[in-house]
């Protein structure tokens, strides 16, 4: 792989499939894989809900921005971001200048079904997680679109078909 091969970033709301599809895509096209949330957990040694409890969302966002800035200097990786990565301008700038950005766009109702039994997402530990997902979708959809080179309607296909589609897209762009 040429050293100049850019990163591929996956963005979208919680449950969109960034981690699942990112890992599969990396394997398929021979890229490295990194999940910014996993990186934060590895560095802190505690799970994400604990970071939110101790440092608040603000502390988590500082750590997230640090990881994204470091990864921007890298190449040849598939990067699964956290759903809130687009909230900060600096992160959006890194994504836009760093390769291909794919937005996995999934309706909140499906995201709710996919995430309802998972306790690892502090922003969804509320009385009405579906309403929260709808609000986050309204707030963030324009930001995801702003950074995206490609928007994939990720509620329809299964993870395998979306992985295939993104692999084709990367191969066409960079003749992998």
Ligand X SMILES: Nc1ncnc2c1ncn2[C@@H]1O[C@H](COP(=O)(O)OP(=O)(O)O)[C@@H](O)[C@H]1O
Ligand Y SMILES: O=C(O)C1=C[C@@H](OP(=O)(O)O)[C@@H](O)[C@H](O)C1
Q: What is the DSSP string of 6-27?
A: PEEEEE-STTSSHHHHHHHHHH
Sheet holding 150-153, edge to edge: 32-35, 77-80, 7-11, 99-105, 150-153
Contact letters for ligand X, residues 104-143 (x by CB under 6 A): ----------x-----------------------------
Q: Is 28 annotated as a binding residue?
A: no
Q: Is 149 annotated as a binding residue?
A: no
Residues between 43 and 102 that touch ligand X (CB under 6 A): 80
Choose the stretch contacting ligand X; rule: CB under 6 A; options: 40-48, 69-77, 94-102, 158-166: 158-166
Q: Which is nearer to ligand Y, 77 or 121 (CB)?
A: 121
Q: Which does 20 bind (CB under 5 to 8 A by kind): ligand X, ligand Y, Mg ion, none?
A: ligand X
Cβ contact 20:12 at 8 Å: no
Choose the stretch contacting Mg ion; rule: CB under 5 A; options: 15-23, 70-78, 129-137, 160-168: 15-23
Which of 7, 19, 115, 163 forms a contact with Mg ion (CB under 5 A)?
Answer: 19
Residues in contact with ligand X, counted by CB under 6 A, come to a total of: 14
Which of 7, 9, 15, 71 forms a contact with ligand X (CB under 6 A)?
Answer: 15
Q: How far apart are CA 25 and CA 37, in angstroms?
A: 18
Interface with ligand Y (CB under 6 A):
14, 18-19, 37, 48, 82-84, 121-123
Residue 20 touches ligand X, criterion: CB under 6 A: yes
Helices and strands (H and E) in the chain: how many: 7, 5
Shortest distance (Å) from residue 119 CB to ligand X:
13
List, as own/partner pairs, every contact residues 157-166 make where C-beta atoms lie below 8 angstroms and the sequence separation is at least 24, other chains included. 159/17, 159/20, 159/21, 159/24, 160/24, 162/17, 162/21, 162/104, 163/21, 163/24, 163/25, 163/28, 164/28, 166/8, 166/21, 166/25, 166/102
């Amino acid at each position: 792989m040429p050293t100049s091969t850019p990163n591929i970033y996956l963005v979208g709301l919680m449950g969109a499939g960034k981690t699942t599809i990112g890992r599969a895509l990396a394997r398929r096209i021979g890229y490295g894989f990194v999940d910014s949330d996993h990186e934060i957990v590895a560095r802190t040694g505690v799970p994400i809900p604990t970071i939110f409890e101790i440092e608040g969302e603000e502390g988590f966002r500082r750590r997230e921005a640090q990881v994204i800035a470091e990864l921007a200097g890298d190449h040849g990786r598939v990067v699964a971001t956290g759903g809130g990565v687009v909230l900060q301008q600096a992160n959006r700038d890194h994504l836009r200048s760093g390769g291909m950005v794919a937005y996995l766009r999934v309706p909140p109702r499906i995201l709710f079904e996919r995430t309802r039994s998972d306790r690892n997402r502090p922003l969804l530990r509320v009385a009405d997680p579906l309403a929260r997902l709808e609000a986050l979708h309204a707030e963030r959809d324009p930001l995801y679109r702003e950074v995206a080179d490609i928007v994939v309607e990720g509620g329809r296909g299964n993870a395998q078909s979306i992985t295939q589609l993104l692999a084709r897209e990367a191969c066409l762009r960079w003749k992998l």
